[in-house]
Every structure is written in C-alpha cells, then in structure tokens.
Structure 1
Amino acid sequence: MRSSGRKLHAGHFAFMRALVEGLDLDKSWDRYLATEGSATDKRVKRSTIAWIRSEFAAAAKRENKPGTARLVLLNLGGPTEDAPAPASKPTAKAPPTLEEFVQAIGMEDFSEAEQIERYVEEYGKASQEDPKERTRLQRRARLIKRQLLALDWLEQSVSQLPAGGDSVEAWFAPSLAGHLKKAGLHTLFLLAERINGVGWRWWTVAPGIGELKGARITEWMKLHADSTYLPIGEHALIRRSEADPGQLALVVRPATDLVPLEKFKVPAELDGSQGAFRAERSLLSASNDYEAITAWLATKQEQPNTQRAYRREAERLLLWTVLERGKAMSSLTTEDAMAFMAFLKEPPARWCAPRHLQRWSPLWRPLEGPLKAPARQQAQRILSGLFNFLMKQSYMIGNPFSGVTPPKVPVRPLGSGRTLTRDQWAALEAVAAEDKSLLGRRRARALHWLYATGLRTAELCAAKCGDLEAVDYIDATGAQRVGWILNVIGKGTKHRGVVVPSSLVDEFQRDLADHGKGTVTDEANKGLAILADLDKDDQGNKEGWTPSGLYKAMKRVMQSAAATMDGPNAERLMAASTHWLRHSHASHGLNSGAVSMMVARQNMGHASLNTLSKYLTTERDVAIREIEKFAGGKKPHE
C-alpha cells in the first residue's frame, strides 16, 4: 500500500499525459518517474499508474467534479502496463458479454456509452473505412482531448512543489522512502545535506539504494532545488576521481562556524589582535592568533604527519575558544584551558562526525566523539607546545596549559591490546588471498607489507620504487644473495633503512611485469608508489593510497576476516586497524625468536631498545607455564 502522505508533483502529470498521447511507456517512465523504480518492473509500474489515477480521481471528487473523476480513470492511451493488450485475440473463444467485460475492467461507474465504446475498442472488427469506425475514432479523439484538458486543470489545482522540510515519503515511492528513513534521511533537507556532504557515493549509507537509484534521487533533488531551496553541488553529480580539487574547495564557504581551520573566519573582536596576554613586541610578523597558529604550523611543514596532528589540535582549540568560550585564544586563562580539556572529554553531539568525512564536506566536524585519556594527554602536550612556541617568539606572555594537570593514562606494555594472535593473522592472510580481483590483490600487497616491515601507515603510503635499494648479503649458508632495503624518512625526519623480505619485492615485480612496467629499479618507476593502483598508472597516476584510504582498505579486510571467526577472535578483528599490524610485526618477530631486538628496533624506528622490550611476552609466558606446572595444570576453581 502507498502512503497516504504522498504528494502529486508535475512529473506525475507529465507521465500521464505521455501515456494518454500514446508515447513510449518505458521512455516516459524513465523521463518523469525514474525515482519510482525500474521501468522493467511491471509490478511497480502497474501499481504506480493505478495509484496516480486513483489520486487524480480523488482530487477531482474533492473539487466536486465527478465527471472529471470518471474521465481520468479511463485508459485512452492504448496498451499500458496496467491494461496490457494481447498480441492477438483468441478466435476459438467468443468475446465476453458487455456486462462481463465491464466487471472485468472495473467500469461499473461509467456511462453505458463509455462502456460500449471501450468494448468496441477491444473487440470490434470494423475497418477504418467503415463509417462507424471513423465515428468511434472521432469520439475517442474527443475523449483524449477532454482527458488532457482534465489533467491540465487537475495539475493547476492539486500539483505541489517539494519543500525542504517535507518528508521523503511524500515524494518518493514507499520502498525508496523506507530505505532513506532507515539511514536517518527522513526529510529532503537531511537528504540534500547527505548528498552535498558525501558526494557521488552518498547512497552507501542506505542499504537497498545502489548507484543507479542514488543517481536518480540526486537528479530529482537537483531538478527541484528551486522549490526546496536545497541546491545540489556539481561535485555531487560526478565521481570523486573526476572532481576538481578547486570545485571541492568551494563546497564549504568561509564562516564563523564549525568549519575546518582554513575556512574559519575569526570575528575581529576575537582575533587576538588585542589579546589579554599578548606581549608588547614579537619575533613573529603575525598580527592575530590565526596568523600565529599558521606560523607555528609552518615550522612542521617538513613533517606532514606531525603538521596534520598539530593542526587538528590547534583547530579544535581555536574553534572552541571563539564559538563556545567567546574569547580570543591569546586571552585564555588556566581556567579556560581546564574547561577545554573537560570539553574534549564530553563534547556536544554537534561537534562530532565520523572520521571518514573529509575536510571539504559540510558534514565535517572537528571531533569523532569523546576523547579517551591518551588522546587528551596528547592534545594537552601539543597545545602546551604551541603556547611555549608563542612565548619564545614573544607573542604571548604565558602558557595557560602549563598549569593544567595532564589526564592520567595507565601504563601498559606497548601494543598491549592491539596485537593480533597468530590465528587472527592467519585469518587475515586467508581472506586477502581469496580475493583475486585487482583491488583485492592491491589490498593483499598492502597487508603483507605492513605486517612484514612494521612500517607506519603514512610511511608505507609515501614509499616509492625509488626508495627500494638492492644490497648484497651473505645468507646463513655462506652464499651471496640480493636483499632489499627500503629507505624511509620517519618521525622527526629521521632516516632509517627498513629490511623488506625479498618475497614481497618479487611479488611486486611480478605485478609490475603483468602490467608491462618493467622492474622496481627501472628509472621510469622511480616515482611509482609501492601501493599504486597499477591499472590506473597508464593515465599518469603514480600515487598510492592516502593514509586514510589505506586505513579504510585494511579495515575492509579485517571486517571480512572477522566474519570467518567467532567470539573474541571476531571482536578483536573488528576492532583492529592498520597500526595493529605494526604492533603484530614487532610482537610476533621478537617472541618467536626470528627477529633480534636490534633488527626490530631498526625496522620499527624506535630510539631505544627499552621501548621494544615492552613487546616481549616470553618472560610472561614462562611464568604462566611454570605456575600451571606447579598447580598440576588445574584451574584455580578445580
């Protein structure tokens, strides 16, 4: 049953006019009613046409036009999905009586003349040269003209325009509206917000709505933007890979609102030019707090990952200071700093959004949710560093965060709770090996490189073929072999050489050869990312995944592996992330005895062996085995 809350729009009338005029049914459907469903779905088509006619008739009756109500129920446009005409009438069976025919097609309320005309249309055998046939055709033409005039009158009387606050069920087919509502998109406003905020693939949030239906809904929303006052950006009409960065940059306009730092407009009275704790003379040319933050971030431009982390914390502080505290950043007191740390622990919902929403999106927010103690501790450390920098540059006279007690974080072994077991790793390998698609092979490549090298996500994303170096070495048998070192610039812009198993390089070489790209040492491949999409490199794309893209790719593999396991194993894999592979590399290598502390330290990029010792569980395992032996292998309650 269709919702009584559905409204009639211009598309319904245009479609029915096309039907009356005998135009192609499927083409008319795709043109005017594509959001109702597929033109090939006869059931949907029949029920939609029947609903439209019934709504037309009901509207005419409300206007005290019973004749018009009967007229719009007539099918005058030839065969339709709700009244299909047989290819050929059976000759062996006599036609039904007029009474039987009328009951079969539901024309009991029509005049006898109309009933006879329809009966003759279906079963008459007179030729067009017959005067009676000509009379019938003339009468039918008059009825079609009357019906078209009736549709024009009805459209003026009952057709409505969509408004932004309307429910989706008022304008879309019940099944489509149901999928949208399950995804939390209850109104046209929320739907437009989602489309503009995510772009082409906005529909992934709503199971049951695929790419085709999503594109049709987007087009419908764009068509009715004048009445809803909900414009759909051009970026939402094309795939992300085809979108111009400049186009995306225009989606969110500069504002004094919850927008990224680069779009944030600080009111003049809160910009810090007259901050309470500004020093008289500064080594910075910055005249306000925003410019001071920019100068601080510029000192980290050679460390893009560090710069992103610093920007995130400064961004949150500046937004909170202006939007929530109503102060300039250079006017913050120690009490303000304490209030900000409490805010990070329990931020309002409007400050939070999923992490996958990118900075160009109007749905972006500075937080995902409440920050745990380690994240708050890091935020305080970074912000204290910001104010120390500003003090050293004589921009400010004090550091409000220096008097704030840092959150207490329990000291736990490095990687504790974030290391995969051998069985969990085996499940990941198995799932990755099963996917033979091009994307699946690329995910498997990333999975094995992360685990076998212990690289950080950003380090692997930045790795190029030109960073690989072939070196001669002597193996355990005394034979000379060729090994591989990946030259990495890690934290603090420190260089280290990470040993890469030759099996990984060999596998990568085979992939390159399959795509006609030579070897990793070829000059043409020097700038090719280790994780590049080799199928797209022909268009000049040498880049691999971004850290965010790699994170999502690995989460997909981990979720698939979780589906193959039960209980705690499944829960652990669902919670795992790319960084777990780095911890697992160190833990598995050290505890198996296959990797020494010295080698693990070099691959992981840790400054101290003491850090690596926290991965070792051998002493713990020995202790458990000895106590179990002492107790006779019995459980305490036994």
Structure 2
Amino acid sequence: MRALAQGLDERASWDRYLRLEGEHADLRTVRRTIAWIRDEFAAAAKREHKPGTARLILLDPDRFASAPALPSLAEFAAAQGLEDFSEAEQIEAYEAAYPAGGGGGRGGARPSRRARVIDHQLQALRWLEGLVVQDPRPSDGVAAWLNPSLAARLERAGVPTLAALVDRINGIGARWWVGVPGVGELKAARILDWLQANEQVLGLRVGLHVARPRAQLTRAALAAVMPAATAIRPYEKFLLPAELNGSAGRYRAPRERCLLLAANDHEAVGAWLASKWHSAAEGDLSSTQRSYRKEAERLLLWAILERKRALSSLSMEDATAYRSFLADPPPGWCGPRHHQRWSPMWRPLEGPLTPTALRQSLIILRSLFAFLMSQGYVMGNPFAAVTLPPSLQRPLGASRTLSFAQWDRIDALLQAHVDTEPGRRLRRGMRWLYATGLRLAEITRARCQDLEQVVYETADGSMATGWLLSVVGKGGRSRQVPVSIELVDELGDELARHGFERQVGAVGNQGIHVLARFDSERERPAPWSASGLYQAIKAFLARAADGLEGVDAQQLRKASTHWLRHSHGSHALQGRAAQAPVPIHVVQNNLGHASIGTTSMYLTTERESRLATMRRFWSEAKLTS
C-alpha cells in the first residue's frame, strides 16, 4: 500500500509484494484485492474512532495533479540571461519569479496537494501498522470491518452485525444483496471475499448454495444450509434436548397401553402429522398437513425454548400461557412469511395472531392432544379447558373479494396482456381460478387427463357438449368442476402451438398440466409451481393497481390468488344484472366445501340493495312514514 501511495503501478506492486510463485492474477483480481485492503484499513481507522483517517486512506492520490516542475537556479539564470550576475542577484530574481519557491534550488517548491495526500497516507499507514491486530467477532458491527459507506448501507437495510450479515446471505442465497440499496454485484463480491477470508476466525460460514442461483439448487442442497439444533428451527431441524424429549414426560400414559411406536414427543407429533391426508401424487405435504405442522412446531419450540418443559409435560396453565404468547410473541420469534424453511431467517410467526387465527391454532392443538390421548401416549389434553376467542361469523372473503367492476378491469388487462408463453400462461391461470373457484394447489395439480368431455341435456331439451375437471381437494374428497369450453379451447391452442395434440384429452397429452410451463427446454413441459403462480398473480395485480387511486388501488395491491376463489363464490351466488344467480349447491361443489353452510356465507348483497329491500318490507308493514 505504501508502494501504491507513492505511485508504483498496481500490477508492478502486486508482482513485487503479493504474487505467489507460479501464480497468475488478472487485473480485476489485483484491483479487487487492493480495494479489499483499503476497506480493511479504513474500517480499522473507524474502529479507532478516526473517521478522517478512514476517509484519507480511501483517497486515490492520482485524483490530484502534481505541482509543475520548477527550473534549477542555473537553468533559470541561463533562460533569463543572468549568467554574469552574482548568485545573490540570481536568487533574488528567481524568488521574484517563483514566490512559492522558498529559495530555488536549495528549498524546492511548496508540495502539491497530491504530494501532501501521499505524505498523510504514508503517515496513516505507519500508524495503522502499529495497531494491535484484532480478529473479527460475530457480534462486531459491520462498520468495524467493512468499507464505511458500504457498512452504512448494510446498517440502513437492517444488517447491523457480521452475524446478521452472514445470516442474511445464507438465508437469501445468491442474490442476497438485491434488497440492500446501493449494493450491487461487485460490492457484494467484495463482502463475500472478506467473509470467506475470515471464515475460520469468525466461526461463521457462508454456504456453498450462495454461489448458485436458487433455481439451480436441489432440495438436498437447501436442506444442508441450516444444521439441526436446539434453537428456533423448523420441526424437521429441531433437536429435542435429552432431558426434555418427553420420554419421561409428566403426563405420559402407561407405556404398555400406548399404540404409538414413538419414543419421544417429536416422533409422536410426526405420527399425528402422518395420520392426516397426504397427496401421494405430489410427494409434498398437503395444505392440511402444513397447517397442522405449523401449529405443532410452534408449540414444540415454545415448550422447549421458552417454557423449558417437554410437550408431554404441559399442563392447563402452560396451555393458557401459550395462548398469551401467541397473542404477543417476542420479536425474535417473528419474521416475514417469504423466508422459506431452509433459510436461517425463517421464523415460526409473522407477529401476533389475530383472534380468528388464534382460535384456529388452539382448535388444532386440541386435536393434537386428543389424538395423543386416543393412542395412549398422554393421559390428558391441556388445551381442552382453554377458552377459545369468540368466533366472528363474517361472510367468507368479506374483505378479500373483488367487485364485478374490479374483475372486469382485470379481465380487460389480461386480454391485452403480452402475447408470450408466460403471458398466456398467466392469463390462463387467472381465468381458470376465477371461473372455477379452485384452490391454488388444485389448479397447479390439474392435468389434461383430469378433463372429461361430456354430453348433457339443456333446460330447453336440446343436447350440448361441456367439460368437467376431476379434482381431489381437502381431506381427499373428489369432485368434478365444470369448465367453460372457451377455457379448454384456449388450452388446446397452447398445446398445439408447442407441438402437442390440440385435442386436450388425447393420449399424447397425458401428464401435461393445465398450467404447464411450455417455455422450458424439457421434452415434456414442467408444471408451474404454486408459489410461481402466486407470485406472478401478485405482480400482475400490483401493476393493475398502478392506474387506479383510492380503495380500488388498495384492494388490488392486497389481492392474491385466494381472492379469485372468493370472488368466484360471491359473484356466482349474487349473479349479475340480467343474469340469474348460480344455485348454491353448484357453487358448493365448485369450491369443494363439505358443508353448504360454509358456502352460504358467500350470500352477501351490496349495502344499498339490503337497505332498499328492507325499506320496501318496512313500507309494506307500515313501519315507515
């Protein structure tokens, strides 16, 4: 660094001081290393509370011009024709010509700004060299080790320490820097270089998954990111301490009466989850299992980490305390929903549960302990006596339903949407969701062979052709949902466009999903994932909101895939002007509700319509003037 400060070429300084025998480094590596060293020195100065020195060490002296070279006294005398004058007279004339010269050949010119910067930098380097060497620690602030401006950007993005920085990198992966304003790919690479160079002394490791885009990582690679531990971890990564694993739980039933092979509470919860319906076709947990697992893992984590008790040792008082915990969880237990289960940034809660969510949670936990009791694992149910929050019987989707006008706007935008494969797929997905009322998981699982063409008799006695989609929904219940001919024809057009048979039900189309990704390079198109469809619809609705103001804009920005399902139920039961409402039993089948009472909760009318109807009733009953 002293050589660089004094003007030695960066490649030459690298070859002289840093190059290893037989090594070749390109100029980008050289410059990145120099930038890294400058950052180290600047951060060290900041640790010593010398921000001015930190700024100085980052300055490039070449930004400042050198002072012009002055002639020697002899050269000046020859140029001015003063050779025959005395030396004293020559010096007098020289000082008059160069007042800053300070004595000509004897004193030299006043140093340039560049020379002064170099001198100060050399002094700073000598001071830094004398500092006691320190190793970074996970709890150190990022400002103590990284480039000051870079550290400030990280701090503003909520990354105050080195441990938080590594957690963020490991938790997001390859493009972890996207959410940090002012940090791009090159700055992110410098940060990674520093962390990897200090990996051993820090005791913090950046995972191998960070080097590859998320789409290229296998499940096994993601599973390896976060080790199992007795800490805030998902159910599958949570280790029970031996003294709290439930093998000697306070309320365990006699072993000879237990119908479970589970040796501890973790395995008992696993047996309960396995007893719930599972979609063998997809190999993933069903939505029911995910909901049940979420509640069980929250309780298991809380019991061990907060209450210091085994799950099978929980009393009614513990259950009441847990209800209070869910209503006001500590910040360390909460995080955004989008952090996936493999990520170190995953948290079991987003924040306090609403009364409705809290009621659902307690009902599920009652179910868990009822199962454990029925199998002879525990003797009682600590949640049986816990008071549930009152059930607020609001209409289904009351605040999550699009108006007819809002849907018409969305449909018009879909009609004008870009004519690309992803654009047509998005249009297909949104129209199918609204037209059928299917759940997100149901539409993404639907395949061509699930569609059946049928002939039926219309109300006027004529024969017509239609389509039914076979769906396996919640609880493994099967149903057939009507699909419009236009939607099926649109799917047929897309199949033909990509070299498949236009007839949707053709043998060659078996295994192709209704929302297949025809843009992939695979011989058979891959299915569009539920998360991919969800994110695409959210992005489209956000763009649709940009041209609106007020409530409409707010509604569209909040809307999601499930809003389309709610809108189907509400719009079908209401009916449009000059259009008869759809019978409730048909809507019940479309939505896959086990009870018609659930579907009836969509039976809402607009406020003005309700008031006008009741006004007529009161008038006829002579209750109004």
Tell me if TM exceeds 0.5.
yes
C-alpha displacement at 1:543, in angstroms? 2.7
Q: Secondary structure at the residue paired with 1:469?
A: strand
Q: Which stretch shifts more, 344-353 or 13-22?
A: 13-22
Q: Which stretch shifts more, 460-469 or 392-401?
A: 460-469
Counterpart selection for 2:264 from 288, 294, 316 = 288
- Structural RMSD (CA): 4.4
Deviations 1:92-149 (Å, cap 9, x if unpaired)?
Answer: xxxx97459xxxxxx999x989999xxxxxxxxxxxxxxxxxxxxxxxxxxxxxxxx9
Matches within 5 A, 1:211-230: 214=188, 217-230=191-204
CA distance in 1, matches of 2:328, 2:28: 49
Kept after mapping to 1: 8 A contact 2:5/2:61 = no
Q: Secondary structure at the residue paired with 2:481?
A: strand
Counterpart selection for 2:572 from 576, 581, 589 = 589
Q: Does residue 417 in structure 1 map to residue 415 in structure 2?
A: no
Identity value in percent? 44
CA distance in 2, matches of 1:185, 1:453: 45
- Structure 1 residues 522 and 18, CA gap change in structure 2 (3 angstroms): farther
Kept after mapping to 2: 8 A contact 1:465/1:528 = yes
Kept after mapping to 2: 8 A contact 1:11/1:33 = no
Q: Does residue 357 in structure 1 map to residue 339 in structure 2?
A: yes
Q: Secondary structure at the residue paired with 2:455?
A: strand
Give 1:184's aligned residue.
158
Counterpart selection for 1:261 from 235, 241, 262 = 235
Matches within 5 A, 1:112-261: 164-165=138-139, 167-169=141-143, 176-210=150-184, 214=188, 217-261=191-235
C-alpha displacement at 1:554, in angstroms? 2.3
CA distance in 2, matches of 1:220, 1:620: 62
Give 1:62's aligned residue.
none
Give 1:617's aligned residue.
604
TM-score with structure 1 length normalisation? 0.74
Give 1:142's aligned residue.
none
Give 1:316's aligned residue.
298
CA distance in 1, matches of 2:612, 2:350: 42
1:17 is aligned with what amino acid?
E
1:268 is aligned with what amino acid?
A
C-alpha displacement at 1:557, in angstroms? 2.1
1:523 is aligned with what amino acid?
V
CA distance in 2, matches of 1:261, 1:267: 14
CA distance in 2, matches of 1:317, 1:514: 51
C-alpha displacement at 1:334, in angstroms? 0.9
Give 1:462's aligned residue.
445
C-alpha displacement at 1:207, in angstroms? 3.6
Give 1:40's aligned residue.
none
Q: Does residue 566 in structure 1 map to residue 564 in structure 2?
A: no
1:18 is aligned with what amino acid?
R
Give 1:542's aligned residue.
526
Q: Secondary structure at the residue paired with 1:185?
A: coil
- Structure 1 residues 98 and 16, CA gap change in structure 2 (3 angstroms): closer
Deviations 1:511-545 (Å, cap 9, x if unpaired)?
Answer: 22232233433434322222232211516562321
Counterpart selection for 1:30 from 28, 35, 44 = 28
Give 2:515's aligned residue.
531
CA distance in 2, matches of 1:505, 1:345: 47
Kept after mapping to 2: 8 A contact 1:413/1:614 = yes
Give 1:513's aligned residue.
496
CA distance in 2, matches of 1:503, 1:471: 15
Give 1:135's aligned residue.
none
Give 1:139's aligned residue.
none
Q: Secondary structure at the residue paired with 1:499?
A: strand
Deviations 1:473-522 (Å, cap 9, x if unpaired)?
Answer: 45678765442211100112110001122222222222222322334334
C-alpha displacement at 1:353, in angstroms? 1.0
Uncovered stretches (5+) of structure 2, i.e. residues with no partner = 17-24, 47-55, 72-99, 110-121, 280-285, 620-625
1:521 is aligned with what amino acid?
G
Deviations 1:333-356 (Å, cap 9, x if unpaired)?
Answer: 111111111111111111111111
Q: Secondary structure at the residue paired with 1:400?
A: coil
- Structure 1 residues 115 and 447, CA gap change in structure 2 (3 angstroms): farther
Kept after mapping to 1: 8 A contact 2:2/2:125 = no
Counterpart selection for 1:18 from 11, 36, 45 = 11
Q: Which stretch shifts more, 472-481 or 231-240?
A: 472-481
Kept after mapping to 2: 8 A contact 1:12/1:32 = no
- Structure 1 residues 361 and 621, CA gap change in structure 2 (3 angstroms): same
Q: Secondary structure at the residue paired with 1:496?
A: strand
Q: Which stretch shifts more, 152-161 or 458-467?
A: 152-161
- Structure 1 residues 392 and 629, CA gap change in structure 2 (3 angstroms): closer
Kept after mapping to 1: 8 A contact 2:295/2:365 = yes
Give 1:297's aligned residue.
273
C-alpha displacement at 1:550, in angstroms? 3.1
CA distance in 1, matches of 2:240, 2:392: 38
2:474 is aligned with what amino acid?
K
C-alpha displacement at 1:306, in angstroms? 1.1
Kept after mapping to 1: 8 A contact 2:470/2:478 = yes
Kept after mapping to 1: 8 A contact 2:436/2:481 = yes
Uncovered stretches (5+) of structure 1, i.e. residues with no partner = 1-7, 37-47, 60-68, 76-80, 85-95, 101-106, 117-148, 633-638
Q: Secondary structure at the residue paired with 2:512?
A: coil
Kept after mapping to 2: 8 A contact 1:35/1:213 = no
Kept after mapping to 2: 8 A contact 1:195/1:232 = yes
- Structure 1 residues 21 and 307, CA gap change in structure 2 (3 angstroms): closer
CA distance in 1, matches of 2:208, 2:463: 59
Q: Does residue 404 in structure 1 map to residue 378 in structure 2?
A: no
Q: Which stretch shifts more, 531-540 or 227-236?
A: 531-540
C-alpha displacement at 1:33, in angstroms? 4.5
Kept after mapping to 2: 8 A contact 1:15/1:32 = no
Q: Secondary structure at the residue paired with 2:249?
A: coil
C-alpha displacement at 1:210, in angstroms? 4.7
Matches within 5 A, 1:447-486: 447-474=430-457, 480-486=463-469
- Structure 1 residues 278 and 514, CA gap change in structure 2 (3 angstroms): same
C-alpha displacement at 1:576, in angstroms? 2.2
C-alpha displacement at 1:260, in angstroms? 0.8
CA distance in 2, matches of 1:544, 1:606: 25
Q: Secondary structure at the residue paired with 1:403?
A: coil
Kept after mapping to 1: 8 A contact 2:4/2:10 = no
1:447 is aligned with what amino acid?
M
Deviations 1:205-250 (Å, cap 9, x if unpaired)?
Answer: 2244455654564455334434544321001110112112212111
CA distance in 1, matches of 2:590, 2:142: 54
- Structure 1 residues 349 and 473, CA gap change in structure 2 (3 angstroms): same
Q: Which stretch shifts more, 396-405 or 298-307?
A: 298-307
CA distance in 2, matches of 1:298, 1:227: 43
